[in-house]
Amino acid sequence: MRVATIVFLFSLLSSMTFAQKTAKAPQASPKDSSAVTTDDGVKIEIHYSSPAVKGREIGVEIAEVGKRWRTGANETTTIQFDQDVTIDGQALKAGKYGINTIPGEQSTQLIFNSNWNQWGTKYDEKDDVLKIDLQNQQSNTSEERLTIKADKSGKVQLKWGNYGLAFQVKAAK
């Protein structure tokens, strides 16, 4: 009886230790997404990993001014359109694209890149399809985690810390 009790306790202790080792720790930059069908019929899907500010200064310590940023964390942030669209009036074919940005003091360059299926730090400018300069927006409220959301009007907003960007998606005519 004592041997059976000892074996049982040893098995229980071993399984508890194994369970603790296999439990997943929260991701530093969890995956997030936004999907909407706009009022003019465009289906927009956005997938990204959402880094936290963690007390760092945006534009200096992270998403540095003048340097290409993968606009998220981990895998390349993607945006997909089910039909041809205009982005702030500029034509873009239906498809899936990687999003990159080059933050500036007053404006940020938004880049749509045809090579979306890669790790976010990989990038080749020759695959850029469209570049648009957007005015930086400031907010009185701070977002700890990066958010990228599209709404039914076709407005896509990126918010992080007190920083923001917005662009308009419309069905091509």
88: alpha, beta or left? (left if phi > 0; alpha if psi -120 to 50): left
Cβ atoms within 10 Å, residue 70: 23
Q: How many domains does the chain have?
A: 1
In-domain check, residue 9: no
- Residue 12 in domain: no
pLDDT in tens, the chain (173 residues): 565 555 555 555 555 554 454 556 667 899 999 999 999 999 999 999 999 999 999 999 999 999 999 999 999 999 999 999 999 999 999 999 999 999 999 999 999 999 998 877 788 999 999 999 999 999 899 999 999 999 999 999 999 999 999 999 999 98
Query: Residue 113's domain spans which residues?
Result: 26-171
Asked whether residue 125 is domain-assigned, the answer is yes
Decide if 100 is inside a domain: yes
69 lies in some domain: yes
Angstrom distance (rounded) from CA 45 to CA 96: 9
Give domain status of residue 16, yes or no.
no
Does residue 10 form part of some domain? no
Q: Is 168 exposed, middle or buried (0-12, 13-18, 19+ CB in 10 A)?
A: middle
71 within some domain:
yes
